[in-house]
Structure 1
Amino acid sequence: MTSLSDSAVAERATGVEEFVYVAVDDPRAQPLFEELSFEYRTRYADRIRADEIEVELHSRYPAELFVRPTGAFVLLLRDGQAIAGGAFMAHEQAGTTEFKRIWTSRHHRRQGLAHRILVELEAEAVRQGYTRVFLGTGPRQPEAIALYQSHGYTLLSAHDFDEAQPPGYLFEKYLEARV
């Protein structure tokens, strides 16, 4: 079944945009992983080794976790090029999904793209029957923290690197089916 958002195409002054659901290893997703690696290396170079970043991005979560019917990997393409994206997978708690890899190209920021990805992921999660989202972000990602707070996510915990708990900001949000 193709949902409306699967084929949603918006005409923009800068080009044609569309959401596409792809596999993690789709070549169009490569910019997402390259730029996330750059972001993590830039923001966490004093705390996380480059090889640990690569494991996090490419090995920690098998690709099959991000496919329907329990997951998804979405890209926002502009004129066929990935400019934003994100994914989700089933969480250990029933009815809960975990959002991962929410990204906006550093060349396309400040255009509301992360907001659009978040809304699309939430809509797809609802279509798949999820009622709750869980997600985490790093303590040095204030843009992500602000995004989640501005979209009604509840902060569950916040820890920096020098605290006894693992670093990161954990959030949750309960989803409502849209009519």
Structure 2
Amino acid sequence: MSAGAGPADGWEFRRVTIDDPLVEQLLRELTHEYVTRYGPEAHQEMTRYPAGDFAEPHGVLLLLLEDGEPVAGGAYKRYDDRTAEVKRMWTHSAHRRRGLARRVLAELERTAAAAGYTRFHLTTGPRQPEARNLYLAAGYTPLFDVSADPLTIGPLPFEKHLPVLTTTS
């Protein structure tokens, strides 16, 4: 848990596996969002990666719980030895515009840095302007021409260098 998010104040970050019942709503809403924006073929995105990709030690799936209920979440998986790839960012439709995705992203960054990753990579779809804006606001470097029409680019890649955490003995 990060500072300011703990069970005492009703907020908790929880590491879960893809088959945890608390993840069901995330997967259902995210699948609906993808299919609504990109059509039926987008359904395949949710089964594209094996569940183990989001498991420790190389990956993590986090949920942000408010009073025990999942309100936001996200994951990362190994991209290469030093890079983790952000996937499955989600905010419950009833809880958007509260800064929850930003909190999840910051916790994913902290968790990945603690696991030894030094870079985050991600792509978001061209029909997800709110995701694009989140990553820009969170200090991610766009690896595409931000002045171009996103629909002419396809997936929008970003990167962010994470702080190197040193351990003290």
Structure-2 residue corresponding to 1:116: 103
After superposition, give the CA deviation of every residue in 1:55-102 in whole Å (9 maximum; x if it has no partner): 211x210011111111000000112111000000000x3300000011
Instruction: Name the SS of the counterpart of 1:125 in structure 2.
Output: helix
Q: Given residue 21 of structure 1, which amino acid in structure 2 is its aligned partner?
A: R
Q: Does 1:147 align with 2:134?
A: yes
Structure-2 residue corresponding to 1:53: 42
| Structure 1 unmatched runs, 5+ | none
1:20-31 equivalent positions in 2, closer than 5 A: 20-31=14-25
Q: Does 1:67 align with 2:55?
A: yes
CA distance in 2, matches of 1:104, 1:32: 8
| Structure 2 unmatched runs, 5+ | none
TM-score (norm 2): 0.88
CA distance in 1, matches of 2:122, 2:26: 18
Q: Given residue 16 of structure 2, which amino acid in structure 1 is its aligned partner?
A: V
Using the TM superposition, give the Cα deviation of residue 160 of structure 1 relative to its aligned residue in structure 2, in angstroms. Answer: 4.3
CA distance in 2, matches of 1:87, 1:81: 17
Q: Does 1:105 align with 2:89?
A: no
1:1-179 equivalent positions in 2, closer than 5 A: 4-5=1-2, 8-9=5-6, 11-12=8-9, 16-45=10-39, 49=40, 52-57=41-46, 59-91=47-79, 93-157=80-144, 160-161=150-151, 163=152, 167-177=154-164
User: What is the RMSD of the two structures over their aligned residues, measured on CA atoms?
Assistant: 2.0
Deviating above 4 A after TM superposition, structure 1's stretches of 4 or more consecutive aligned residues are 158-161
Asked if the contact 2:34–2:43 (Cα under 8 Å) also holds between the matched residues in 1, the reply is no
Q: Which of the pair is proportionally richer in strand?
A: 1
Asked if the contact 2:58–2:77 (Cα under 8 Å) also holds between the matched residues in 1, the reply is yes
Q: Which of the pair is proportionally richer in helix?
A: 2
CA distance in 2, matches of 1:137, 1:176: 23
Instruction: Name the SS of the counterpart of 1:82 in structure 2.
Output: strand
Give the share of equivalent positions with the same residue, in percent: 46
After superposition, give the CA deviation of every residue in 1:142-171 in whole Å (9 maximum; x if it has no partner): 11101100111011126745x4x6x11100
Instruction: Name the SS of the counterpart of 1:107 in structure 2.
Output: helix
CA distance in 1, matches of 2:68, 2:7: 13
Instruction: Name the SS of the counterpart of 1:136 in structure 2.
Output: strand
After superposition, give the CA deviation of every residue in 1:29-70 in whole Å (9 maximum; x if it has no partner): 01111111121122223xxx2xx333211x210011111111
Asked if the contact 2:14–2:65 (Cα under 8 Å) also holds between the matched residues in 1, the reply is yes
TM-score (norm 1): 0.83
